[in-house]
Amino acid sequence: MILYLLVAVSLGASVAFAIVTDFWKDSNEIGSSDGNDVYFSNQFTVTDGKNRIRIKDYEDRF
Amino acid sequence: MITKCKFCGGALKYDADIRRMVCEYCSSMFDVEDTEEEKEYEKMQAMSAGKNPDDAIGQAVFTPENETMDMSLYHCSSCSGELYLNQTEVASYCPYCGQPTIVFERIAKTRKPDYIIPFKITKEYAVASIREKFFKGHFIPKELKYFKAELLRGIYVPYYLYDMLYKDRQIIRAKFEEKNSKGEKSSVTYDFYREAVASFQEIPVDASKKIPNEITEKLEPFYTADLIDFQAGYLSGFYADLQDDSDYTLRNIARRRARDRFNKLLYDDLMAKECQTLKSKPTCSFEKEAYALLPVWFMVFTYEGDSYTILVNGQTGKVVGGVPSDKNKIALWFSLITLLVSVPAYHILQLVFDPVLFQSSDSILSAMWVPLVLISAAFTAGLKNYRSVRKSQALTRAETIKTLVGKREGRKK
């Protein structure tokens, strides 16, 4: 009985902790930098590439 | 440049709403470019009359020979913060720590910025944006929601904009998810070799030590399409913080930002679930750099003895900051949810772990892993959120700015 009570209260408290902190994050943390760097204008080109290599075959390039 | 009205002699201020210079006394309006031409004309007239042209103007003075300008330097005796003002302005309190302990120090010669993005967001709009965020927040104290608009100050923050060419060769270990003929998922790992080149334009790096880079990066994006040649007229009515970070540090930050972006593009190219660089040989060259002032609204307020700073991007209106919380409200919600989950959970546990089915206490304990995993997962998610908010609050607390400035002062000694 005590074991069930302990587990139930722990479960309740941890779920409450997750929900409240999630709301807290939405409420009190304003602004995010996620995805900000995508606005850099850039040109990206892969000039050479090999798939499924053995590292030792390419070590001399470093 | 004149920052005085040619009709009544009153101070001209830049109005972000109409994007023109406006006289505070007679409401006359001027284009910033016109005031620049006017100033050049006055300077020439003064020179032809044998007077010192700087005396004739009495405002921010450009010396094109060395690309510097004169600004009034103010010093805060509370947080040691320094800020610059167009000479027609007077600072009444420190925008970094919110204290009225700011005093005029001297006229300082500073490097003239190459570009500026003038304020596009008005003070009223910035106030409305912050209010909207505050009203949406469940756990923001009520008294904060009715803050005074006077707390807002417009500051031009110094940035360097870098054009860079970044090359790298890498060995990358990538993890993929594959399905076998039976449709079962499994994880496989392969190594890849890639060489790539990326050219970046106008990577922005905040050149002020007083504002942590994590905050200014959150304020982004700043769209450089609005960049115009610097004209001191745009500073009227605003503060300006000028570069105090070393070129070496700024270039390192730009390199780090280019590397992160480059790696993301490279990893995206592999379309793997997870990627890890095992070996790399990057080279990075700076093609061009420009010094620019970008617009930010600062709001400093005090709550329960701690100072907090909320920032608003003066070009896009994006709001950034960590706001203090109403602890009683959090405690109430926490207790209610705990109760609402615990009571049914207790009954479910009694039903599921029926002593008839689980004949020994050992078998009950061994089956308890399910709720224990749930507890652990919920707690971990909560802890991640908690850390994120605390970090955000710590970053935007003026105390952080104070510490940074204090450290800088310490290094000087």
DSSP at B14: E
Q: Residue A11: list chain B partners with CB under 8 A.
A: 341-342, 345, 371, 374-375, 378
Please, how many CA atoms are within 13 Å of residue B22, restricted to the half-sphere of its CB?
10
**Of B130, B11, B128, B21, residue with least CA distance to B59:** B11
Nearest to B201 among A14, A32, A41 (CB): A41
| SS3 (DSSP) at B60 | coil
Query: Is the minimum CB–CB distance between B259 and chain A shorter than 8 Å?
Result: no
Statement to judge: residues B51 and B155 lie in one domain: no
How many structural domains is chain B composed of? 2
Statement to judge: residues B22 and B155 lie in one domain: no
* Chain B nearest CA to A2, separation (Å): 10
B100-145 pLDDT tens trace: 666 777 777 778 889 999 999 999 999 999 988 888 888 888 888 8
Statement to judge: residues B191 and B42 lie in one domain: no
Per-residue model confidence (pLDDT) at position B45 = 54
> Which residues lie below 8 Å from residue B257, measured CB to CB, with a gap of 6+?
A37, A40, B203, B205
Place of tokens 């399409």: B225
Statement to judge: residues B48 and B127 lie in one domain: no
Residue B367 in any domain: the answer is no
Contact flag A48-B193 (C-beta cutoff 8 Å): yes
Query: Is the minimum CB–CB distance between A2 and chain B shorter than 8 Å?
Result: no
* pLDDT of chain B, 413 residues: tens digit per residue: 446 677 777 767 777 777 777 776 777 777 777 665 555 555 555 555 555 544 433 344 444 445 777 777 877 777 777 777 766 555 666 777 666 666 777 777 778 889 999 999 999 999 999 988 888 888 888 888 888 777 788 888 889 999 999 999 999 999 998 888 887 888 899 999 999 999 998 889 998 877 778 788 888 888 888 999 988 788 877 888 877 788 899 999 999 999 988 998 899 888 889 999 999 999 999 999 999 999 999 888 878 877 788 889 999 999 988 888 888 999 999 999 999 999 998 888 888 776 655 556 666 666 777 888 889 999 999 999 888 888 777 776 655 555 544 443 444 43
E-strand ranges in B6-113 read: 12-15, 20-23, 29-30, 62-63, 68-76, 82-85, 102-111
Q: Residue A42: list chain B partners with CB under 8 A.
A: 198-201, 261, 265
Query: Is the minimum CB–CB distance between A56 and chain B shorter than 8 Å?
Result: no
* Chain A nearest CA to B407, separation (Å): 26
Query: Is the minimum CB–CB distance between A6 and chain B shorter than 8 Å?
Result: no
Restricting to A residues 8-47, those with a Cβ less than 8 Å away from any Cβ of B are: 8-33, 36-37, 39-47
Which domain-ending residue is among B13, B40, B59? B59
Nearest to B378 among A15, A23, A37 (CB): A15
Restricting to B residues 297-316, those with a Cβ less than 8 Å away from any Cβ of A are: 310-311
Statement to judge: residues B193 and B318 lie in one domain: yes
Which domain-ending residue is among B37, B59, B81? B59
Per-residue model confidence (pLDDT) at position B112 = 83
Per-residue model confidence (pLDDT) at position B295 = 94
Structure token digits, residue A16? 């409450």
* Chain B nearest CA to A57, separation (Å): 10
Give the residue-averaged pLDDT of A18-33. 81
B296-348 pLDDT tens trace: 998 888 788 777 888 899 999 999 888 888 889 999 999 999 999 999 988 88
Restricting to B residues 127-166, those with a Cβ less than 8 Å away from any Cβ of A are: 133, 136-140
Across the A:B interface, residue pairs with CB atoms under 8 Å apart total 220
Per-residue model confidence (pLDDT) at position B162 = 92
Which chain B residue is nearest to residue A62, measuring alpha carbons? B281
Per-residue model confidence (pLDDT) at position B336 = 94
Q: Residue B296: list chain A partners with CB under 8 A.
A: none
Which domain-ending residue is among B20, B43, B59? B59
Domain residue limits at B287: 123-324+393-412
Statement to judge: residues B166 and B311 lie in one domain: yes
Which chain A residue is nearest to residue B280, measuring alpha carbons? A62
Q: For the residues of B192-245, what is the DSSP string, one character each?
A: EEEEEEEEEEEEEEE--TTS-HHHHHHH----GGG-EE--GGGGTTSEE----S
Per-residue model confidence (pLDDT) at position B93 = 66
Please provide the average confidence, as pLDDT, over all residues in chain A: 82
Per-residue model confidence (pLDDT) at position B339 = 93
Contact flag A16-B379 (C-beta cutoff 8 Å): no
